[in-house]
Structure 1
């Protein structure tokens, strides 16, 4: 995996059922924007809030709509190895071309247990396994030496790095180069969508940006500029995306958390663009109110997102 691989938002109806027509329009919007792959059932997909039936419905819908035009990978995120293996069996049967797994969470895990977890995942599925480094939710930072070791053995295909630790990312990229062999094929995708140009300059292979749901073409342009070595123009595009991303700051943090504010803002943006029918988020997340929605509309208009779509 390389390039721009958005974590696909999950549109809901007012009754909290998955809105498949909106989801299909979103997949079309992303592919039309030039993305290089789709990541269903990630954090921005609200995977932590989804019952198993909805997980299956979503991955089947995304794969069906994509029709092989771009690869689709699927999150199998859950608390334990056994539950992740169950999710993996479902998404692989549906046609996912890779699975994305965090370390187990809730219980405290030893580094040896985390390594065993990823080995068990790799042994159990016949598609590539991508590790997901998400310390803010999983409460542990994946060890870079362990990741490269498993990559060198051909057990891990890549990493989505949402740790925000640029120094650790650089060490990982240097280790990948130094070890070589099969580790050279280990794909490193940054989840830090406001510093994509920096990550690509260090040698990362791509980005998994939640905001690409709203502006996929912007992230594709940024990636292309970095690939061409036009770092000055890439910085300009990255700074433009930073300005657009300000919509995630609109939600009032005295009454909602970061997830409600960010995912809610993405969905409001998608609704304003006419891609999804409403901005419903899964409970217990708190929806943005009309005043906040109006502010997001103003920001997207001021940055040209609404006018350019």
Structure 2
């Protein structure tokens, strides 16, 4: 199976000061999808510029014609399914059906407390995610939805005419735990992982591959329990969070070696961060562009 290359463009630049050109360049380089983080701010970027994901993707939709667009990932931390569904249907329409929703349970940090709430426990995040995803699925596929749940409500929420993509835009579900994997198996058209976070600081690339293989085995079991073939789901690796860190972007050969090892695991898409000087995602722009243009032919 061929391996697609995609990119993440963080929304830290004004649209007319490098923001627009980053998205059009991603299309020129041949990336399959360009994603952005759906946060209100993020880690080391918290005290600097950071723009909203949906408006940014809407502008990117108008500036491009082929490139798929998506969030990586949206979470319940500050989103409600009813308002999110309306925005996604609008974005899918404006883009002509080029949107993928990356969705995850979220985590601790700024997004988890910015609305004034106490941080949710891992259990509560999982509980909310288990309600969030099925409700969002309904909102994107049904003309009118009413729902009274433990965390979310909808009263005759109208979403006509629905998505351009039918029956709805695809979900790429980020998950490694059993409940999240069940959601991916039930509702996902793709599954997303960043690897095993426990290995990031002290693990080895070999240990990372072993851990990811275990995640895929658990995904396979979750799909089987839902009566689905795991091969129905695309498998997406968001790079930069494994023990390899930025080494795969040091040269074309280094990336092809990294990508080949993960392609053998069954991944269908690798996502590379667009280089950001002076950050954790610093990389040689020329090498990044060479990878985008030459690596797909080498990987088949």
54, 58, 61: which one aligns with 1:60: 58
Q: How does 1:1-309 map to 2 (within 5 A)?
A: 3-12=4-13, 18-20=14-16, 22-41=18-37, 54-67=52-65, 69-75=66-72, 77-80=74-77, 82-83=79-80, 86-95=83-92, 97-105=99-107, 106-110=119-123, 111-125=126-140, 126-133=168-175, 142-143=176-177, 145-153=178-186, 155-164=187-196, 165-175=208-218, 179=224, 181-193=228-240, 194=248, 195-211=258-274, 214=285, 215-227=288-300
Query: SS at 1:208's partner residue?
Result: strand
Per the normalisation by structure 2, the TM-score is 0.57
Higher helix share: 1
Matched residues, number: 210
Query: SS at 1:190's partner residue?
Result: strand
- Going from structure 1 to structure 2, the CA distance change for 1:85 and 1:64 (only over 3 Å counts) comes to same
CA distance in 2, matches of 1:223, 1:42: 27
Cα drift, residue 84 of structure 1:
5.8
Higher strand share: 2
Residues 184, 191 of structure 2: 8 Å contact kept: no
Query: SS at 2:8's partner residue?
Result: coil
Cα drift, residue 36 of structure 1:
1.0
Cα drift, residue 216 of structure 1:
3.9
Per the normalisation by structure 1, the TM-score is 0.56
User: Could you list the per-position Cα deviations for residues 75-109 of structure 1 after superposition, in whole angstroms to 9, with x for gaps in the alignment?
Assistant: 46345375365345324312252211220433013
Cα drift, residue 148 of structure 1:
4.6
Structure 1 match to 2:253? none
CA distance in 2, matches of 1:84, 1:40: 19
Query: SS at 2:173's partner residue?
Result: strand
CA distance in 2, matches of 1:207, 1:172: 16
CA distance in 1, matches of 2:180, 2:293: 27
Residues 103, 171 of structure 2: 8 Å contact kept: yes
> 4+ residue runs of structure 1 moved beyond 6 angstroms?
50-53
Cα drift, residue 204 of structure 1:
0.7
Residues 197, 222 of structure 1: 8 Å contact kept: no
- Going from structure 1 to structure 2, the CA distance change for 1:146 and 1:222 (only over 3 Å counts) comes to farther
CA distance in 2, matches of 1:40, 1:24: 13
CA distance in 1, matches of 2:192, 2:102: 8
- Going from structure 1 to structure 2, the CA distance change for 1:76 and 1:20 (only over 3 Å counts) comes to farther
Structure 2 match to 1:243? none
- Going from structure 1 to structure 2, the CA distance change for 1:33 and 1:82 (only over 3 Å counts) comes to closer
C-alpha root-mean-square deviation of aligned residues, in Å? Answer: 3.6
Cα drift, residue 27 of structure 1:
1.6
CA distance in 2, matches of 1:162, 1:37: 17
